[in-house]
Amino acid sequence: MKGVRRKSLIIFYWLLITLIVLYDRKFLIQKAGLGHFAECTLVRVCLLMALAYLHLTLLIPFFIERGKAVLYLLLTGASISVYILLQQVYDIYLYGFVLGFENSRSFRAASFYLVFSTIWYLVITVIFYRGLEWYERSKQIKELELEIQNLKQKEATLIKEGESSEMFVKSGTKKIKVDREAITHVQGLKDYAILFTPTGKLIVKGSLKNVEEMFPPGTLVRVHKSYLVAKRKVSAISSSKIIIGDWVIPIGRSYRENAGKI
């Protein structure tokens, strides 16, 4: 559900920014009386959102996050050029042939304003997207820190017993049995680790390395400085993230080779 809510917010931001861009481009408003205004606006919205989606899901993860800035700039320039070309092709079709304006039946050089507004749209979209990611990470850290404070009186400690699929964690004077095979991933936070299962989570004292040693070799894979994932629980994987159920786990730049072995 968290992934669905996050995608909904991103789509809302894209629509909001796109409408601002379209409103700012007053020549569209001026052409509203010519007919086909809704179709024209829809085409531009779709093209802008496709450009942003390509930028956020492909160009940034594959090039910026891998330090390939020059290649990123070249591909960004090429994608903007393709966007402008497609927009002009549609304008030729709509205004040159459908509406019958003969002077609109040829390509014309893209104006500086058109290029600038497209780049501005991309920049604002990326800022919103990164801001949303930062907010979600900060909120999650605050929730975990609060949970740790509440559990400090009943501090849990990992206890290894035998080589079965079960292990025990000590909470106060009690031992809680946890099935290793039920654990989907582990998140590290300062001196604690959070064990996630489909039915809940358990905070234990110890580092990610301590947790990893409780499992057979190769069971957990380090994909981020703060995350271990269970190989058998992974639903999907891309260049920048891993999906386990409703959880989206980032892949750190230094751990891409590990993630590739999943």
Rounded to two decimals, the pTM is 0.49
> What superfamily does domain 155-259 belong to in CATH?
LytTr DNA-binding domain (2.40.50.1020)
Residue 120 has pLDDT above 60, yes or no: yes
Domain boundaries, the chain: 2-145, 155-259
pLDDT recorded at residue 227: 93
pLDDT band, residue 162 (cuts 50/70/90): very low
DSSP secondary structure string for all residues of the chain? -HHHHHHHHHHHHHHHHHHHHHHH-HHHHHGGGGS-HHHHHHHHHHHHHHHHHHIIIIIIIIIITTT-HHHHHHHHHHHHHHHHHHHHHHHIIIIIIIS--GGGSS--PPPHHHHHHHHHHHHHHHHHHHHHHHHHHHHHHHHHHHHHHHHGGG-EEEE--SSSSEEEEEETTEEEEEEGGG--EEEEETTEEEEEETTEEEEEES-HHHHHTTS-TTSEEEEETTEEEEGGG--EE-SSEEEETTEEEE--GGGHHHHTT-
How far is the C-alpha of 88 from the C-alpha of 198, rounded, in Å?
50
Per-residue pLDDT of 47-87, as tens digits, reads 888 888 888 778 887 887 677 889 888 998 899 889 888 88
How far is the C-alpha of 152 from the C-alpha of 149, rounded, in Å?
5
pLDDT band, residue 150 (cuts 50/70/90): low
Per-residue pLDDT of 182-208, as tens digits, reads 899 999 887 788 888 888 888 887 788
pLDDT band, residue 143 (cuts 50/70/90): confident
Buried b (16+ CB within 10 A) or exposed e, 35-47: eeeeebbebbbeb
pLDDT recorded at residue 185: 92
Per-residue pLDDT of 26-43, as tens digits, reads 555 555 565 677 777 778
pLDDT recorded at residue 35: 61
